[in-house]
Structure 1
Amino acid sequence: MTHCVRRSFRYRFYPTSEQVEHLSRTFGCVRLVYNMALEARIKAHQKGRSMAYKESSAALTAWKREDDFSFLNEVSCVPLQQALRHLQTAFLNYSAKRAGHPRFKSRKRSRASAEYTRSAFRYADGRLSLAKLKEPLRVVWSRPLPEGVEPSTVTVSRDPAGRWFVSLLCEIPVELMAPTDKSVGLDAGITALVTTSAGEKVCNPRHERSDRRRLLKAQRVLSRREPGSAGHAEARLRLARVHARIADRRRDFLHKLTTRLVRENQAVVIEDLNVAGMVRNHRLARAITDAALAGDAVHAGVQVRLVRT
């Protein structure tokens, strides 16, 4: 039995200097449009009226005609429209009490990304081209896309370590795994990352602790650099790469662990942990974050149940 799911395939790519300049400008324009639209919505709310996506889109057209924002015409209009749609979704989630009030995006702390829909990219024969870019992206296809699948959206992003990624959202058929009569309960911990109801203990690899000396050295070097200098930017990038190494190793370990548990069991019961409250204990905060305690549900025909303790 199969069913269709939407799945994102993430790849690394290496842009040319011209692509770096254009995509960086696109990221800045996306952030600016999001913040301007958010400010306009807040002002409209203060005056006692609401502002929907249609009005935000009309405001974007007016901003492009102004001399101060004429540079918005230099990038593709699709990522800018997608930023407005994301803002609309954020307000819908806020109205439904599924999330907090949307906040302004920061140049230093927010994720640098831009989303392109089908009208703004072309994918054919393993070559991916984006609107207003002369050359296709040099993507490292670490694994092929499923045969016959066409991406619906493409998201380009840059992480704090300076690495560039492209994510292709596709709708693919997934075959449900054969049912089994096995079920397992999981108890998350610090010394043992997971203890199963069958008595198996999965040791905590402690990725942050294994790289702590390298991390502390990079932090000390950064603290000695003058903010705003080229040396400070280089040290910040070196520190970000250490954090990225820790995060990548942790993510890889957790994905392999959860995949094995899902394949072996029909039902998985885990604790509904209040991680935000647990990290307030300053003596355990580092160990808790290093263990990455959180729920990871994998949809493959397996029941995942949360139990409050």
Structure 2
Amino acid sequence: KGSANRARARLKVAKIHARIADRRRDSLHKLTTRLVREDQTIVIEDLAVRNMVKNRKLARAISDAAWSEFRSMLEYKAPWYGREVIAVDRWFPSSGLCSACNTLRDTMPLHVRTWTCDCGVTHDRDVNAAHNLLAAGLAVTVCGAGVRPQRSAPDGQSATKQKPSRREP
């Protein structure tokens, strides 16, 4: 349907979009490869990206950043270099927990970017979350389990991803 000009314009737009997608994928490959080569343990937050994209104000920015693709690239490249990727539980209070005294702040809306704890330390929300995620990830590597009280499954295992235990008949 349409003229030859429409078909040419459609191909031109498709080439532009393909070029943009290739550049984004290339930059993600370069970033994930650099991270996996340089760092022994990589700690990330397990985010519900699918649910976050439903927010109309954040959907484009989250999709452009390609968080899901970034995580999947990290997870498949880490074993190549003998590295470990740890995903901290999405309910871990990373930004509301003081990294100095471990005091948990009750509520913190998204518009609050800096906050001061009762101990007197002023925190940037993102930097504080990074400190807490690193500490939680290192605790997981040492302890081998979750870093907070886990909801237990019916078989007694914690709710974190683990290999299923073998039951003898």
TM-score range with shorter-chain normalisation? 0.3 to 0.5
Q: TM-score, normalised by structure 2?
A: 0.45
- Greater radius of gyration (CA): 1
| Bigger strand share | 1
Q: TM-score, normalised by structure 1?
A: 0.26
